[in-house]
Structure 1
């Protein structure tokens, strides 16, 4: 049976991360701006607030010792000690930050350490990362899962060591880490995305069928039958849980697969069109250009040129 979550994580191609140990003394607050990279941290000791900025209203969660948090596409967020309100987006943050070997010290350098956390980000190797990340929840918060803490520790150890096959080990650890995080939070995902959809037994049936047979001529009616639901109930439930309409999700997945095959240059455009549900190159080319911004042939050439430049 095809596992949609594993497929998405595999296509994301997570690569070697940056990680560091951060220790803090209350009161403290730190605001960060990222460029859409996945950001994670594990609370090794103590508790803190985490505020995740829009789109939409900011959301604040409390992170306790042993918790794991992942922001698949981090933009603006802030962390702060429990004795103060998280800083607003327009509020200047003046907490002292002092570098130390392997990390940083936040707050009074002579104060009592009441928070230790391992923080870091990983790089997604897929050029389609933005599309694929849009299928994931806005944030993942896992509590009481020591497996995740152990995995992150292994990632940190591997990133600082100079062992043979380091990059291969890192990529495998990161894939397991991401899947474990999503698996652990499937039933409690707070924001729409693939994880929440897979947690719904009926929606999961339709999602798996889309991934098992992307070339099938699916309609909302046929997908609703797979989920044993009426068309309208399925459409509404899918849209709320996953964050996009069923056919929009299917199109996004088909285009992600098409991009992957075009980059690999092992199949003709006609073969790729057939594999993603188009009976001819013409309609596929129109859909691909509308979705990606260029025809499939040009996309393949650019991907090939980029690969040679990277080499």
Structure 2
């Protein structure tokens, strides 16, 4: 049986364009505007308050890991907000091996590894819609070790560096998403997979995307009536069953068009269309351009990268 979570993380094609070591001392604060890209932080020492997209702040302590699929605004500050005479909380100092926030001469009360992720998948937005808006994992030794390995690999020009980084980032995402803290409070893929009725149906879609699935087929696999299955699927994942099936087929099609030389007929057959023309019509309606045009643009972009 195919594992949907592993399949989706692999399809994301993760990379890490930016990371840094940061610390805070005294009374410090960072206010910033992100670009909507995924952001992660691992607290190595001490603690801090973190607020994302103007949401209530959460307290982070040593070995906490946070992953935010889309950060537009963020604020990070010291746990102690007692004013310090002569110290500007917003002061930033570049030290030898880290960026210091607050007092550059005081003992740090927080140290962290912070990074931004990027994804090669053209359907990253659709995939992130199925993930928690904030993932907060506490004291998971495997995540701590993975982040430190990623940091070390990113800093050294070793053979096969890019391949190793991609694999480590895939492991990081899988480990974070399958952790007990992978928030099932909001609708998404994780909540759907955790549902004892919906999980088997979602796995079947990923195992056989070419099958001519109907609501009745998937409802039967879930052991539910058609109406109950439809309502439950939409409530738990945030998408209608056929909407999810179409989105997943198009994500696979985009990946194949970008990374393989398969013909339109072969790709159509692999994702459930009886002919190249039927696939072309569906792809053009969803994506906005014909598959041949999309393939040409995607492959040109890969060559230029």
TM-score calculated relative to the size of structure 1: 0.89
| Cross-structure match for 1:79 | 76
Structure 1's unaligned 5+ residue stretches are 85-92
- Shift >6 Å, 4+ stretches: none
**What whole-Å deviation, never above 9, does each CA across 1:206-235 have from its counterpart, x for those lacking one?**
111110011112222221211112223322
| 1:201 alignment partner, SS class | coil
| Cross-structure match for 1:98 | 93
Over 3 Å counting, the alpha-carbon distance change for 1:6 and 1:59 in structure 2 is: farther
User: Cα RMSD (Å) of the superposition?
Assistant: 2.2
Distance in structure 2 (CA, Å) of the matches to 1:286 and 1:242: 27
| 2:104 alignment partner, SS class | coil
Over 3 Å counting, the alpha-carbon distance change for 1:184 and 1:290 in structure 2 is: same
**What whole-Å deviation, never above 9, does each CA across 1:149-174 have from its counterpart, x for those lacking one?**
01101111111122222111111111
| 1:127 alignment partner, SS class | coil
| 2:197 alignment partner, SS class | helix
| Cross-structure match for 1:300 | 295
Distance in structure 2 (CA, Å) of the matches to 1:117 and 1:135: 28
Which residue among 67, 71, 74 is the counterpart of 1:70?
A: 67
| Cross-structure match for 1:154 | 149
What does 1:1-311 align with in structure 2 at a 5 Å threshold? 1-53=1-53, 58-84=55-81, 95-185=90-180, 188-310=183-305
- Kept in 2: contact 1:24–1:107 (CA 8 A): yes
Distance in structure 2 (CA, Å) of the matches to 1:185 and 1:33: 30
- Kept in 1: contact 2:89–2:103 (CA 8 A): no
- Kept in 1: contact 2:53–2:71 (CA 8 A): no
Over 3 Å counting, the alpha-carbon distance change for 1:18 and 1:101 in structure 2 is: farther
| 2:122 alignment partner, SS class | coil
- Kept in 2: contact 1:2–1:208 (CA 8 A): yes
Distance in structure 2 (CA, Å) of the matches to 1:208 and 1:153: 32
| 1:51 alignment partner, SS class | strand
TM-score calculated relative to the size of structure 2: 0.90
Distance in structure 2 (CA, Å) of the matches to 1:141 and 1:190: 12
Over 3 Å counting, the alpha-carbon distance change for 1:165 and 1:305 in structure 2 is: closer
Distance in structure 1 (CA, Å) of the matches to 2:104 and 2:280: 60
Distance in structure 2 (CA, Å) of the matches to 1:110 and 1:94: 13
Structure 2's unaligned 5+ residue stretches are 82-87
